[in-house]
Structure 1
Amino acid sequence: MIYVERPSKPLNLTDEHVQALTAKFKKTKSAVWKKDYIAESLMKMTNNKCVFCECRLGEEGKYMEVEHFYPKSLYPSKVIFWGNLFPICSRCKKAKGDHDTQLYPIINPCLNNPKTHLYFENNSIFDKDSSHLGILTEKVLNLNDTRQLAAPRFLVGASVMKKLQEIAQAVNRYDRQSAVIGDPVHSTVQYRGPTTPYLP
């Protein structure tokens, strides 16, 4: 999870339109937030990622849903309020459910910098300095879901490590060839055998 800067609300979302859609929702409970201009603006805000787990939306069956940070079931007046809307994946939406973020706050990525409350280590997310926001956010969103989050993180990490090793091997081969050929560019460098760069 990273800090997200919220852009200005879409031009279509005028105060009058917000009032009308809110009234319609309270009366009919219809999905008044399902507007292309809302979805497109939210996706652009997070570079097509879920605001919480950062999975790529639109790939591998992870379609985007509009999340109400303050649940619409508890706070119907905020159903179309721009500052209450986020793009989210179905996994995070199901985990968060109707959690009351007013009474029991979790990290709001547009208001709280997640780095202040969470840190990442060994493919898992932990609360930072016993942060209450961090603890509850990890718990409510199940950010260490083994199958859907931790395992994909491990695969990404393994892929990065493999690529770094390939780069290190290519650099070593280049150094050896330069030393043998006596390339003038490297003539002042004395070859001392292959080295292995530090890999985190």
Structure 2
Amino acid sequence: MIKLERETKPDYLSDEKVFELTESFKATKKSVWNHDHIKIPLLRSSHSKCAYCECPLTSASNYMEVEHFEDKNHYPEKVVLWENLLPSCKKCNGAKGQHDVIGDPIINPYVEDPKNHLSMRLYRFRAKSDKGQSTIEVTQLNSSDRSVFCRYEIGEKISEMIDLGFERWNEYLVRNNTRSKNKLVNLVQGLLNECQPTSSYSASTATNLLTDPKFIELMSLMREADIVSEELDDLILKASTLVLDYV
């Protein structure tokens, strides 16, 4: 989970439209929020990922649902209130269900930074606060059969790429030419691209990469050789904003 920035309320949700849709829901219980004018800007705001688990929402097997942070059963007057809507995968939305976030608060990533409430250990989130613990349990962020396994697969691939990075570093030391340097830099750039806010499971990926002693050593060696570009530094800076405490 990462901090998200909410887009400006779409013109579609005028005061009149909000009233109309809200009254329609109260009368019929229909999914009045299931509209592209709502779903598309929500999806953009989360980089096409679930606001909770960060799984991609662009595949047929993992489509987006409009999630009501303050649930529609307890708070029907907020069913199309823009500030109350989040993009979610079916599993996180289903797990949260009718949970009352007023009585038992969880993290709203559009309002606060999850880093204040969550840390990480071996691809699993750990709580730094009661709100963090509630979030993990309510949205099942540590579900082994989906979230943890996906984080693990990406993490193992990153470990393999770090080892390959050292092979390319040694090749660069021997050849000391542009081709070997570019091969190394391109690999590191590819690793860092997986740790950007737009990438799936980026909180986990950024945390595991930027706290990995071997990657830290590799970057130190590259800096000493003066082959860390401004572009790489910019990617590192963006990724570092997502890093959770590693415990």
Q: Same fold (TM over 0.5)?
A: yes
Query: 1:114-156 CA deviation, whole Å, 9 max, x = no partner?
Result: 000001221010011xx11001111111111111011110100
Q: Does 1:172 align with 2:170?
A: yes
Offset, 1:12: 1.1
Query: 1:78-103 CA deviation, whole Å, 9 max, x = no partner?
Result: 01000110100011011101101111
Q: Hey, what's the Cα distance between the residues in 1 that align with 2:176 and 2:46?
A: 45
Offset, 1:34: 0.8
Task: Report the count of equivalent residues.
Answer: 181
Aligned pairs for 1:66-81 (under 5 A) are 66-81=66-81
Partner of 2:214: 198
Q: Hey, what's the Cα distance between the residues in 1 that align with 2:164 and 2:85?
A: 42
Secondary structure of the corresponding residue to residue 214 of structure 2: coil
Q: Hey, what's the Cα distance between the residues in 1 that align with 2:143 and 2:61?
A: 18
Offset, 1:17: 0.4
Offset, 1:60: 6.1
Partner of 2:47: 47
Q: Hey, what's the Cα distance between the residues in 2 that align with 1:89 and 1:178?
A: 47
Seen in structure 2, the aligned counterparts of structure 1 residues 97 and 177 have a Cα distance that, compared at 3 Å, is same
- Spell out structure 1 runs of 4+ moving beyond 3 A: none
- Normalising by structure 2, we get a TM-score of 0.70
One-letter amino acid matched to 2:18: V
Partner of 2:125: 125
One-letter amino acid matched to 1:8: T
Seen in structure 2, the aligned counterparts of structure 1 residues 144 and 36 have a Cα distance that, compared at 3 Å, is same
Q: Which is richer in helix?
A: 2
One-letter amino acid matched to 2:160: K
Q: Does 1:22 align with 2:38?
A: no
Aligned pairs for 1:1-200 (under 5 A) are 1-59=1-59, 61-128=61-128, 131-178=129-176, 198-199=214-215
Seen in structure 2, the aligned counterparts of structure 1 residues 150 and 60 have a Cα distance that, compared at 3 Å, is farther
Q: Hey, what's the Cα distance between the residues in 2 that align with 1:63 and 1:178?
A: 47
Where relative contact order (Cα < 8 A, 6+ residues apart) is larger, the structure is 2
Q: Hey, what's the Cα distance between the residues in 2 that align with 1:94 and 1:102?
A: 18
Secondary structure of the corresponding residue to residue 88 of structure 1: strand
Secondary structure of the corresponding residue to residue 154 of structure 1: helix
Query: 1:146-189 CA deviation, whole Å, 9 max, x = no partner?
Result: 1101111010001111112112101102212349xxxxxxxxxx
Q: Hey, what's the Cα distance between the residues in 2 that align with 1:104 and 1:53?
A: 19
Q: Hey, what's the Cα distance between the residues in 2 that align with 1:155 and 1:166?
A: 17
Offset, 1:199: 3.6
Secondary structure of the corresponding residue to residue 48 of structure 2: coil
Q: CA RMSD in A?
A: 1.5
Offset, 1:2: 0.8
Secondary structure of the corresponding residue to residue 86 of structure 2: strand
Q: Hey, what's the Cα distance between the residues in 1 that align with 2:101 and 2:138?
A: 10
Seen in structure 2, the aligned counterparts of structure 1 residues 145 and 60 have a Cα distance that, compared at 3 Å, is farther
Offset, 1:8: 1.0
Q: Hey, what's the Cα distance between the residues in 1 that align with 2:13 and 2:174?
A: 62
Secondary structure of the corresponding residue to residue 198 of structure 1: helix
